[in-house]
Structure 1
């Protein structure tokens, strides 16, 4: 199914490739840019790399420890009976230990760390899906708000023509001052609505910059969403099997269970292989005259053996650690149930919102057609005296409202549909088939650090990945692309002559 989503989006976007210059930026391009440059996603990747280091950290407790300790001592004042104490001494000790048995603590720690790496990868997948959902939302917000601005501009121009025609008819005594006032009032309201729509468009464009990283160009219509389920139960079953947030919670639960075994190891015996050596040098400050015989000024020694520790009583610490790990396991178990509830609710809610928006689109399209016919009829009836100016104004407002409702429903349907895919675990980079370069592979970093054991190892100094937007110009409400044909309507003509053009004289 994920492959079908990839192929479907590729075909949908590919079908617009020839017209990319005319259509402008595509949704795929916005996703690729956000995938490569969004700081939140880059931070999640860095967080996963930190989680990867938990495995070599846990494994380090099973590796040998080697250390050297040195001292230089100057005996400034010596006691009168200090016959074997030199004036100064240089000593060095070499100590080595190798753990042989630690009650399973290291084995369980490594297993828990590896499980948390799997949980981190699932969280990264969830972060990708959330980012792409945000891109889809802001992309469609801009398209919606551009259309709403154009609809309001169209409405203002129509009301301006209406006001001119009404004023002309008032001058010849065909209408009253009330008719003119009604036209003026409706035009003033429409201008206010236009200013509000322009402010909303600016906000949507700024949100687009915050998520994607650059200002929106002329946005192409988004491609169809493939592989959407026809039944909410199908969505729920798929989500329970694939949702990355649920998978992360399950992995964290498994890691918490292993932590309990790790805590129990503190009560078990430990066996270590130990070795050491030392060197001393009195720097010729312990003479034979001090003790009456010749003593060596330098010497070495070495030891090797087994270190065996059997805990008998530790003040209740191990028991408290076990109980603490068990309590945290209980938290992780409940988090799985809570996450599962949320996943089920998200899938069902997104399915219902998607279906509802589809029904609203159908109703709004019918309403736009009906209101367009109604407006034409009211104008025609007004020309013969059967309708008033306020009825024309009301019909125009109804048409505007239905058109705004239509573009809003289209946005809501697409966003809800993508949210449904995200809840089902089908809205990640691998599912989308993004072609903006190689996809980030979390396994590469894990394999790079998994077996590293050198103390003097580090990565290059971290550099910012996310792009800054401070230099992106402030957005304006200017819309350059043409309004969709089914939303266009001719600028209102003289109500007394509805068959004429804008400049048709009375």
Structure 2
């Protein structure tokens, strides 16, 4: 019931994104789900794993073989009855396995269990891909905001530098004021270049995951049903994390592998039905007066028993090897469990910490806004310098960058938490755009197939290439902060120069 509620709430949240934007998070996730090569390749690997079941079953099914021979005796004795000149034969054998020591049964159960593990791993691959997409989506939003803020800062500082130089020419400011403006502008330009490079990298990562360039991205929807405590998150993760489920299934499969190995030292019984036809093509008794038949048929029905007595210790070695691999699989479950617990607790802590950072950053932004307005007002009456305004603007810029980064970190940590809990797969996100991929459909299709001539044909590419997508740039069209989009120096008109400070 909780999983259904999560699916409905998160699906509704993803669908309810504002339509004014070119891209929403749901659309990005859907495109990645349909065209990302990581997930499409994992589906193909799972289909290949499904085939291990009919392969294992085939060892316990009857087999039919037919053969034919033609012999021409180039050298033969004088008795044509013992060495006819030529002969042709055909035979057919039906072998029915009756007892294989449990090897077939255990092989089939091992293959079925590994197919279940593969389906769980496919769930985990979906969750990992969606986590990467969510991170890339939020990285683009964050970096666009940071680039926009830095572009705005550079433009304002350029205007300020021009004003400072003009005021220096008429003696209102000193060379120190101009140098401070030049230094701040140089630093701002360097910060803008770094932010622009990061934005380009984030957009290219988005293309790698989603397959298309990002448009104007809508704000991501609220993540629903996040746990209230670490213990609740860990309990859900231990029950539903797909990688932990996959490790447990792999461990279970090794128990059947031990049974397969033990079957190598047990008897094997087959039922055998055979028929043959032979024709000497008129060469039997050639040259004699005896009239003999030149062809004949034969049929047989029996049992075949193979009783291993000594195999040089090979079965015992295979059993010990299978037991050791089972021990490895048991330890792998513990290792995976530790990773899931650590991932869940870390994601929960980072999410809660990011919420606190968001609250602090919002407070800092509000305080820095008031501070900047106050410093500008005080500068207009001569109690604050240009440097004070530059410092106040830098503080506001830094707090705004911290805020957008904290919002990104909180959202990604929250989604990581859902992924660790097994709540971040396609069926949980309410993705639309066609039926979701169901690996059980292929498994049920192939598990009992016995046609030797069956084939699915040459596979066609599913994932879309990105070589034709345009190289990304750092263009930003988002609205900017009007408070920062004003000149630093807003004093009244330039003085007449009657009161000129000492130039340095």
Shift of 1:82: 5.8
Equivalent residue, structure 2, for 1:184: 182
Q: What is the match of residue 204 of structure 2?
A: 206
- Count of matched residue pairs: 494
Q: Show the 5 A alignment for 1:27-426.
A: 27-80=25-78, 83-287=81-285, 289-290=287-288, 293-426=290-423
Q: Post-superposition shift, 1:433?
A: 1.1
Match of 2:440 in 1: 443
- Residues 6-17 of structure 1: pairs in structure 2 closer than 5 A: 6-16=7-17
Query: Does the 8 A contact of 1:31 with 1:135 survive in 2?
Result: yes
Between the aligned partners of 1:494 and 1:286, the Cα distance in structure 2 is: 116
Q: Work out the CA distance in 2 between the residues paired with 1:15 and 1:430.
A: 17
CA contact (8 A) 2:80 2:285 kept: no
TM-score (norm 2): 0.95
Q: TM-score, normalised by structure 1?
A: 0.95
**CA offsets per residue over residues 435-456 of structure 1, 9 Å max, x none?**
1110001111011101100111
How many Å separate the matches in 2 of 1:55 and 1:182?
A: 74
Q: Does structure 1 conserve the Cα–Cα contact (< 8 Å) formed by 2:12 and 2:430? A: no
Aligned partner of residue 217 in structure 1, secondary structure: coil
How far apart are 1:383 and its partner, in Å?
A: 3.0
Q: Indicate the larger mover: 65-74 or 338-347.
A: 65-74
Using a 3 Å threshold, how does the CA distance of structure 1 residues 95 and 170 change in structure 2: closer, same or farther?
A: same
Q: How far, CA to CA, are the matches of 2:345 and 2:189 in structure 1?
A: 40
SS at match of 1:178: helix
1 CA distance for matches of 2:406 and 2:494? 39
Following TM superposition, by how much is the alpha carbon of 1:343 offset from its aligned partner in structure 2, in angstroms? 0.1
Q: Is the 8 A contact 2:40 2:462 kept in 1?
A: yes
Question: In the TM superposition, what is the alpha-carbon distance from 1:496 to its structure 2 partner?
Answer: 5.0
Cα distance, 1:167 vs structure 2: 2.0
Q: Secondary structure at the match of 1:23?
A: coil
| Superposition RMSD in Å | 1.6
Q: For 1:447 and 1:208, how far apart are their aligned partners in 2?
A: 35
Partner of 1:62, secondary structure, is: coil
Where structure 2 has 5 or more consecutive residues not aligned to the other structure, the ranges are 496-504
Is the partner of 2:74 in helix, strand or coil?
coil
Deviation of residue 391 (structure 1)? 2.4
1:505 is displaced (CA, Å) by: 7.1
4+ runs deviating over 6 angstroms: none
**Cα drift, residue 488 of structure 1:** 4.4
Q: What is the rounded CA distance, in whole Å, between the counterparts of 1:293 and 1:338 in structure 2?
A: 82
**How far off is 1:81 after superposition?**
5.3
Report SS of the residue matched to 1:303. Answer: strand
User: Shift in Å at residue 84 of structure 1?
Assistant: 1.7
Q: 2:68 touches 2:89 (CA, 8 Å); kept in 1?
A: yes
Q: Distance in 2 between matches of 1:494 and 1:263?
A: 81
State how far apart, in whole Å, the 2-side matches of 1:211 and 1:183 are.
42
Deviates more, 1:419-428 or 1:265-274: 265-274
Counterparts of 1:300 and 1:480 in 2: how far apart (Å)? Answer: 88
C-alpha separation in 2, matches of 1:256 and 1:488: 65
Structure 2 Cα separation of the partners of residues 97 and 385 of structure 1: 105
Give a deviation string over 1:226-260, Cα, whole Å, max 9, x none.
00011111110000000000000000000011111
Whole-angstrom distance in 2 between the partners of 1:378 and 1:490: 13
Could you tell me which residue of structure 1 aligns to residue 456 of structure 2?
459
Task: Name the structure 1 match of 2:486.
Answer: 492
Is this contact kept in 1: 2:379–2:385, CA < 8 A?
A: yes
Gap change, CA 1:494 and 1:28, over 3 Å in 2:
closer
Shift of 1:9: 2.5
CA distance in 2, matches of 1:156, 1:238: 48
Q: Secondary structure at the match of 1:437?
A: coil
The structural deviation recorded for 1:10 is: 3.2
Distance 2:484 2:396 in 1: 12
The residue that corresponds to 1:4 in the other structure is 5
Q: 1:162 to 1:346 in 2, by over 3 A?
A: same
